Amino acid sequence: MADPRQIIADNVARVRDEMAEAAAAAGRAADSVRLIGVSKYVDAATTELLLAAGVRDLGESRPQQLWDKAAEPALADARWHLVGHLQRNKVRRTLQASPVIHSVDSKRLLTAINDEAAAADASIEVLLEVNCSGESAKHGFSAEELRELAPTLGDFDHARVLGLMTMAARDGSQATAGANFAALRTLRDELHGVCPPGVSLAELSMGMSGDFPVAIAEGATMIRVGSRLFAGLG
């Protein structure tokens, strides 16, 4: 049996090589894309191996799992990212881990995060999730809703909106994913013009194990990769 530590280190190295290749092909600097290791598939001990392999940005999709791992002393060096749906009644507890919240999918949730952060005298970084594929099962704002929300983003003093996040359609083709990611970038460029000063929407969180190279080609600044990092662990 191969050593899990080695398997994960090799997987991380391969993903980083592919990230650098995709960035170079797009004429972008390698360090313009941040790898977020989505650790939702594994326990805290295995998550620690990701940290050991140099992946400090860790993502969870369930708030409860994020709370539990954020409380692990061995994972104290991680920077946390919540990438899955957040219910308003879990906001307060979630803010204790100070994650970047990628999955803000309604004005009500953004307001709740802002209010709780204000009460805690904290500032929390968030991304607005966009439903680019139009699939009804997916969370996220429509482009129309964001055009309405964007000019008001300066009102949220304690929730700093860094950018947009999306997931590609489920059909799995690279062409569809590329079209979804290009649509997110185009929407960002459009919204940039109506955002208040100080809100730049510079970050684009898009791309997962199956489609991160095409996401980087389309301008991703954060990719959320899970299963590729744990391949071969059995």
User: Residue from 100, 110, 216, 225 that binds ligand PLP (CB under 6 A)?
Assistant: 225
Name the one residue in this structure whose structure tokens are 């313009």: 32
* Residue 38, number of CB atoms within 10 A of its CB: 26
CB of 166 to ligand PLP, least distance (A): 9
CB of 37 to ligand PLP, least distance (A): 9
* Residue 12 sits in the site that holds ligand PLP (CB under 6 A): no
* Residue 164 sits in the site that holds ligand PLP (CB under 6 A): no
* Residue 226 sits in the site that holds ligand PLP (CB under 6 A): yes
Long-range contacts, 205-208 (Cβ 8 Å, 24+): 205/36, 205/83, 205/102, 205/127, 205/163, 205/164, 205/165, 205/166, 206/165, 206/166, 206/167, 206/168, 206/180, 206/181, 207/181, 208/38, 208/167, 208/168
Q: Which stretch binds ligand PLP (CB under 6 A): 15-23, 49-57, 147-155, 204-212?
A: 204-212
CB of 230 to ligand PLP, least distance (A): 8
Assigned token pair, 139: 């969370």
- 130-149: buried (b, 16+ CB within 10 Å) or exposed (e) per residue? bbbbeeeebbbbeeebbeeb
Q: Which of residues 52-81 bind ligand PLP (CB under 6 A)?
A: 61
CB of 192 to ligand PLP, least distance (A): 24
* Residue 224 sits in the site that holds ligand PLP (CB under 6 A): yes
CB of 189 to ligand PLP, least distance (A): 23
* Residue 47 sits in the site that holds ligand PLP (CB under 6 A): no
168 SS3 class: coil
Taking the C-alpha atoms of residue 194 and residue 69, their distance in angstroms, rounded to an integer, is 38
* Residue 128 sits in the site that holds ligand PLP (CB under 6 A): no
Q: Which stretch binds ligand PLP (CB under 6 A): 5-13, 42-50, 188-196, 221-229?
A: 221-229
Which is closer to ligand PLP, CB of 103 or CB of 114?
103
CB of 129 to ligand PLP, least distance (A): 9
DSSP-assigned letters across all residues of 99-116:
-EEEEE-SHHHHHHHHHH
Q: E-strand spans in 105-145?
A: 124-130
* Residue 126 sits in the site that holds ligand PLP (CB under 6 A): no
Binding site for ligand PLP (CB under 6 A): 38, 40, 61, 83-84, 167, 208-210, 224-228
